[in-house]
Structure formats: C-alpha cells, structure tokens
C-alpha cells in the first residue's frame, strides 16, 4: 500500500502547497493541494474539491463543457452550442469566429 501523501502516478512524496486554480480562463482562487515534486501532479482533497465546485457553480462556470451532436445543413455540418456556452462566450447569430483543427480530434473555435 502506498503512503497517504504519495503521488498516485509515481509514488513520490507530495508537498502541501497552495495552488492557483482557474477554469475556462477565469481565476477561481488559491486552494490547498498536494503537489508531486517529481511529475507535478496536483491533488485536491475531497473537501477542497467540493468548495471549488461550489465556487464554479456560483460563477456560472459549471456544466459549460457538454456533449453536442453534429447536425447537417445541406452539404455542411452544424455543431450546436448550448445556451450556457452562448451566454458565457457572448456569442451572437451572424457573429464571426475562427475555426481550425488543433489535431485530428480537437477543434478550436476562437471568438
């Protein structure tokens, strides 16, 4: 059995540290975490995770990541965005975005 404060990835003892946490580019705050000195893996306690979830919900950042289906319009395909993303990114019909693949399985949309 591994030590309680050992990294799950490499088994190296982790140090207690306050780390900045941001979500979708918005700074949520500094939180106590265990950080592996070898691989940099960061772990938050269950209590800290709960607190972080509460804050992200309050900031309206919860559930922005979502699954969406690809639709078809003529010979082109549509990817639908949900209301939460539309509101968060302040997207408007007729607005322009830049779209490009970062890899074969990741698409970037820049507003």
Q: Which of 3, 9, 54, 78 binds Zn ion (CB under 5 A)?
A: 9
The DSSP code sequence of 31-88 is EEEEEETTT--EE--HHHHHHHHHHHHHTT-TT-S----EEEETTEEEE---HHHHHH
Q: Which of 3, 5, 10, 66 binds Zn ion (CB under 5 A)?
A: 10
* Nearest distance from C-beta of residue 30 to Zn ion, angstroms: 21
Q: Which of 31, 36, 56, 61 binds Zn ion (CB under 5 A)?
A: 36
- Please name which of 24, 62, 31, 36 lies closest in space to residue 49, comparing C-alpha atoms: 31
Element (H, E) at 102: strand 98-103
15 forms part of the interface with Zn ion (CB under 5 A): no
79 forms part of the interface with Zn ion (CB under 5 A): no
Q: Which of 13, 17, 18, 38 binds Zn ion (CB under 5 A)?
A: 38
Residues at the site binding Zn ion, with contacts judged by CB under 5 A: 7, 9-10, 36, 38-39, 41
């Amino acid at each position: 059995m591994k030590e309680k404060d050992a990294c799950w990835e490499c088994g190296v003892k982790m140090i207690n540290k306050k780390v900045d946490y941001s979500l979708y580019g918005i700074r949520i705050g500094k939180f106590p975490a265990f950080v592996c000195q070898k691989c940099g893996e960061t772990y938050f306690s269950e209590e800290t995770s709960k607190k972080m979830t509460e804050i992200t919900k309050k900031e309206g950042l919860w559930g922005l990541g979502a699954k969406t289906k690809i639709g078809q319009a003529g010979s082109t395909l549509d990817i639908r965005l949900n209301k939460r993303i539309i509101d968060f990114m302040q997207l408007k019909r007729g607005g322009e975005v830049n779209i490009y693949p970062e890899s074969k399985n990741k698409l970037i949309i820049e507003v």
